[in-house]
């Protein structure tokens, strides 16, 4: 990944390039910002630029020995730490055990989410974690001499997922690392990182991608019309991952909207027969799609609540959703929105716990019938 591969973020790119050119290299950077803004690609591009032997004023050269190894993310002085799932059967319990999958995943995805990575390693219901054992691996690697580059670089993706024992063991290493060692901690929830690590790192805040940069990137990659690019950019709100999903899952979103409308109408009419019919349909979707629909319903209810304030700049509805919300929004208000969110979150939790999906959906429909008239 090069700086040129990253959408927008020109101010941050310039700041990182200038720090290298002026020889100001903090031993630990905490790069934080929202999902889909390009934090990890920026960290990798910065690491490449830092060790490039023929760097230009704007980017790494791409042809020196260091860059050639970076092309495959296989530079001996570049190290990665990331959340994993222990797999006792395959004897995988540290990040290096997943290094092949990680490099392949990064080579195929510049922008992605935590859940995308968990899907890649087939985590199923397990929660990705950076385990306590990883701290020993990090310390061992960084205490070795550099192989061929000027800097040893340790990129920790989502340090907020570190086990507390791992975080505590790394404190001294982050505070006083070996010479020419750089930590790049890439976080979406920096406040969940222990304070002593935060205080030992120079913080670099990344904002969501600017609208114009997002529009230009979407038009170039997907050959969208200007109108469609503007609409998707607004809905994505600076998140490139969300923007690409909106483009690729348009049919699914339309299906979810139709299902949502049907549920609301059945619940309003207290049509028990059709509630049961839709419960059967919901059960046939499969667990991941059931969860995706429930998250969609949460988001749509939130947007309908905001719709009542008549502030289009903070509303993120597509055309079909906006048309439906004209008449539906008045039924979503301060007396029921919190209860709606609670019931949907409960349904998501029940899906994850393998509760009978027909029971989940029918029970949710009955509760919606009450909340709509609250």
Q: What residue segments make up the domains of the chain, in order of their start? A: 3-207, 209-248, 250-372
Q: So what's the pLDDT on residue 131? A: 92
DSSP count for the chain of H helices, then E strands: 17, 5
pLDDT band at 138 (very low <50, low <70, confident <90, very high): very high
Q: So what's the pLDDT on residue 369? A: 93
Per-residue pLDDT tens over the stretch 158-212: 999 999 999 999 998 998 889 899 999 999 999 999 999 999 999 999 999 999 9
- Residue 352 or 161, more confident: 161
> How distant, in Å, are the alpha carbons of 154, 170, 178, 190 from that of 174?
10, 6, 9, 16
Long-range contacts of 119-126 (CB under 8 A, 24+ apart): 121/84, 121/85, 123/85, 125/352, 126/85, 126/86
Q: So what's the pLDDT on residue 16? A: 94
Total residues belonging to the chain: 374
Percent of the chain past pLDDT 70, that is, above it, reads 99
User: What residues contact residue 140 under an 8 Å CB cut-off, 6+ apart?
Assistant: none
Per-residue pLDDT tens over the stretch 232-278: 888 888 999 989 988 877 777 888 999 999 999 999 999 999 999 99
Q: How far from the centroid of its chain's Cα atoms is residue 130's Cα?
A: 17
Q: So what's the pLDDT on residue 268? A: 94
Please compute the mean of the pLDDT values over residues 306-327 and round it to a whole number. Answer: 84
pLDDT band at 144 (very low <50, low <70, confident <90, very high): confident
Please compute the mean of the pLDDT values over residues 205-230 and round it to a whole number. Answer: 90
Rounded Cα distance between 116 and 158, Å, is: 14
Per-residue pLDDT tens over the stretch 34-44: 999 999 999 99
> How distant, in Å, are the alpha carbons of 39, 40, 83, 224 from that of 212?
19, 21, 33, 14
Q: So what's the pLDDT on residue 316? A: 74
Q: How far from the centroid of its chain's Cα atoms is residue 64's Cα?
A: 32
Do 3-207 and 250-372 fold alike per CATH?
no
Find the helix packing angle between 10-21 and 39-51, rounded to 10°: 20
Residue 178, SS3 per DSSP: coil
Q: So what's the pLDDT on residue 318? A: 78
Rounded Cα distance between 268 and 189, Å, is: 39
Task: Please determine, for residue 23, whether its predicted confidence score (pLDDT) is greater than 80.
Answer: yes
Per-residue pLDDT tens over the stretch 48-101: 999 999 999 999 999 999 999 999 999 999 999 999 998 777 778 899 999 999
**What rounded mean pLDDT belongs to the chain?**
90
CATH for the stretch 250-372: 1.20.272
CA atoms within 13 A on the CB side of 313: 1
Burial class (CB in 10 A: 0-12, 13-18, 19+), 229: buried
Assigned CATH topology for domain 3-207: Rossmann fold (3.40.50)
Query: Which parts of the chain are beta strand (E)?
Result: 28-32, 78-81, 152-157, 181-187, 202-205
- Residue 246 or 33, more confident: 33
Please report which residue ranges of 195-313 form alpha helices under DSSP H: 195-199, 211-222, 226-236, 240-248, 250-269, 272-283, 287-307
């Amino acid at each position: 990944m090069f700086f040129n591969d990253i959408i927008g973020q020109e101010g941050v790119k310039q700041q990182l390039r200038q720090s290298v050119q002026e020889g100001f290299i903090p031993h630990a950077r905490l790069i934080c910002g929202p999902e889909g803004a390009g934090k990890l690609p920026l960290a990798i591009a910065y690491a490449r630029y830092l060790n490039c032997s023929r760097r230009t004023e704007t980017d790494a050269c791409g042809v020196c020995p260091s860059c050639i190894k970076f092309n495959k993310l296989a530079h001996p002085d570049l190290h990665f730490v990331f959340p994993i799932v222990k797999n006792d059967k395959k004897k995988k319990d540290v990040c290096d055990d997943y290094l092949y999958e990680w490099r392949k995943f990064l080579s195929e995805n510049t922008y992605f989410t935590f859940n995308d990575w968990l899907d890649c390693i087939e985590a199923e219901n397990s929660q990705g974690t950076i385990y306590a054992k990883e701290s020993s691996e990090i310390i061992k690697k960084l205490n070795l001499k550099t192989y061929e580059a000027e800097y040893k670089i340790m990129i920790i993706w989502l340090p907020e997922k570190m086990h507390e024992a791992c975080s505590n063991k790394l404190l001294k290493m982050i505070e006083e690392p070996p010479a020419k060692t750089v930590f790049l901690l890439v976080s979406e929830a920096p406040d969940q990182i222990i304070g002593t690590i935060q205080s030992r790192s120079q913080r670099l805040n990344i904002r969501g991608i600017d609208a114009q940069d997002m529009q230009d990137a979407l038009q170039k990659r997907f050959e969208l019309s200007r109108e469609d690019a503007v609409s998707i950019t607004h809905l994505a709100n600076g998140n490139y991952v969300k923007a690409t999903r909106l483009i690729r899952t348009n049919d699914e979103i339309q299906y979810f909207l139709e299902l949502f409308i049907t549920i609301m109408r059945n619940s309003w009419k207290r049509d028990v027969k059709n509630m049961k019919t839709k419960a059967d349909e919901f059960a046939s979707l499969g667990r991941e799609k059931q969860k995706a629909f429930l998250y969609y319903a949460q988001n749509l209810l939130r947007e309908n609540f905001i719709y009542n304030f008549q502030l289009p700049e903070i509303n993120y509805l597509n055309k079909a959703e906006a048309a439906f919300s004209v008449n539906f929004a008045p039924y979503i208000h301060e007396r029921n929105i919190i209860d709606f969110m609670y019931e949907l979150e409960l349904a998501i939790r029940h899906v994850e716990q393998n509760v009978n999906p027909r029971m989940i959906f029918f029970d949710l429909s009955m509760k919606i019938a009450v909340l709509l008239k609250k």
